[in-house]
A and B are shown apart, each in its own frame.
Chain A
Amino acid sequence: MAQDHNEIRVRLVTPERTLFEHTAQSVELPSKAGYMEVLYGHAPLLAELGAGDVTLRGGPGGDERYNVNWGFVEVLPDRVTILASDALKPGEIDVPRAEKQLDHGLALWKQAGESEEAYDEALRIIAEAEAKIASASQP
């Protein structure tokens, strides 16, 4: 391919194993502050990921999407490495469980009172569950 050099190598690593390692045209990441898209030649960057979808565009097997919650990413001009504590394909998401998790999170949020820690924890659970449900409902 003519644009070979315009491709980035993307690695997705979870605590259990290296999920995949291949090239893609671009990759979209759910950084904590919002989604960002990384193309070839991006400036070196380190970022924490929130809950959301990692989307690979123009990979060998077409577009691919993974739902992650909490992660860490290193971007180098020609390489992106994503450390995710959990990565699921949209089809693998257990929607009833995510909904239960959402209810649980909302309940925690109501109980949190003045404790900042409990509040953050509840928000984290809610964000994770919402991202899962949104990811599963997308085509």
Chain B
Amino acid sequence: MANVLDLRRRIRSVKNTRQITKAMKMVSAAKLRRAQERAMAARPYARMIASVLVSLTRRIDLFDEETGNLRHPLFTTRPEKKILLIVVSGDKGFAGAFNSNILKTAFQFIQGNPDKEIDVEAVGRKGRDQMRRRYPAATYAEIADDQGNLRKVRDRKARVEVTGDHPGMLLKLETDRVFAMAQSIISRYRHEEIDAAYIIYNEFKSVIQQRLVVERLLPLIEIGSQQLAGAVEPTVEERERAAQAALTAGIELEPTDTTEADEEARKFGTAQVDYIYEQPSEELFAGLIPQYVSSMLYHAMTESVAAEHAARMTAMDSATNNASEMIDSLTLHMNRVRQAAITKEIIEIVSGAAAL
């Protein structure tokens, strides 16, 4: 049986752990608040781009008479044979099941499409590491065309390959990098290297309103509405845990009301007047589309970052609670052991005295 000194040491060690988890929780809460603000601040731009696009499609004749689709390369649907899958995970661990849930959904998606070629693009270190371990990286062969210029051509060896990763992208979210990524995706779609692009990320409206979604990025079918291909809602218990953690860290449960700002943003480019188009409207439309795709990507990433911090906050709150419980039970145990030792000593003294 452990003696009092051992127990005291263990209690001290658990107390130290609790201090660390508590600090980590508070740090995550602060980061979550910042991430939430950033996601909020990014909303007007995304809304405005979407609403002006919607209004442009209504005003100008962009529709193909035969198919009824929009006359733009990103609106043409092809049979899905080659898919690009963007997996947005976290950069660090200690966030409960956050990363493993994302990866699980990604693997399910890959297994659910066994007859298609899938390119994986990983954002976030945790996802990248797992994807790389499981699937080979894409290889390219250099082929000279008739003019003798070297051209890089994809040399596919496996059904699922990792085409790229973006280290540090989530650490410091910059719109330039996200835009560059969006452009590379768009160009791949235009050159028919891919027939569709999906993104897996954690949607985050507030601490209690979050879910894991698989969203279609390309082809665009309807602007301004989410094109979900699947979603995983958190369980009631998970939601309760998250709410409790948020309460103790001073994070608001309900998202801040932005209806007014949203309405304001939605008016962009939609006034009931005849606009003069400085450039031909098709050109305006084509110029806006990459920005729209980029804003969708940026939106996914800001939300995922917020969700990651929220998950870490919840996990660390649970860890802190567990540590407290452990300290309580260890203290109780220690007191019992001490009491037993005292009782034993008294018995020894008394029986010793009685024997005299």
A, B in one complex = yes
25 residue pairs bridging A and B, Cβ less than 8 Å apart: A15-B42, A15-B178, A15-B298, A16-B41, A16-B175, A17-B41, A18-B44, A32-B278, A33-B278, A44-B274, A44-B275, A46-B56, A46-B269, A46-B277, A46-B278, A46-B284, A48-B278, A48-B283, A48-B284, A72-B284, A74-B268, A76-B273, A83-B45, A113-B149, A117-B187
CA gap between A96 and B97 in the complex, in Å = 44
Q: Does B48 make an interface contact (CB < 8 A)?
A: yes
| Contact B283–A13 (Cβ < 8 Å) | no
Q: Which residues of A contact B279 (CB under 8 A)?
A: 32-33, 47-48
| Contact A15–B45 (Cβ < 8 Å) | yes
Q: Which residues of A contact B298 (CB under 8 A)?
A: 15
Count class of interface residues, chain A: 20 to 34
Q: Does A55 make an interface contact (CB < 8 A)?
A: no
CA gap between A72 and B187 in the complex, in Å = 22
Q: Does B260 make an interface contact (CB < 8 A)?
A: no
Q: Show the binding face of B for A, using Cβ within 8 Å.
A: 38, 41-42, 44-46, 48-49, 52, 56, 149, 175-176, 178-179, 187, 268-269, 271, 273-279, 283-284, 287-288, 291, 294-295, 298
Nearest Cβ on chain B to A99's Cβ, whole angstroms:
17
Q: Show the binding face of A for B, using Cβ within 8 Å.
A: 13-18, 31-33, 43-48, 70, 72, 74, 76, 81, 83, 85-86, 113, 117
Given A16-B38, A72-B288, A81-B268, A47 and B52 contact (CB-CB distance below 8 Å): no
CA gap between A10 and B198 in the complex, in Å = 37
Q: Which residues of A contact B175 (CB under 8 A)?
A: 14-16, 85-86
Given A33-B279, A48-B283, A81-B268, A74 and B52 contact (CB-CB distance below 8 Å): yes
Nearest Cβ on chain A to B350's Cβ, whole angstroms:
78
Nearest Cβ on chain A to B149's Cβ, whole angstroms:
7
| Contact B41–A18 (Cβ < 8 Å) | yes
CB nearest neighbor in B for A121: B183
| Contact A13–B275 (Cβ < 8 Å) | no
Nearest Cβ on chain B to A107's Cβ, whole angstroms:
16
Nearest Cβ on chain B to A37's Cβ, whole angstroms:
13
- Could you say which of A13, A33, A46 contacts B44, with CB atoms under 8 Å apart? A13
CA gap between A81 and B268 in the complex, in Å = 8
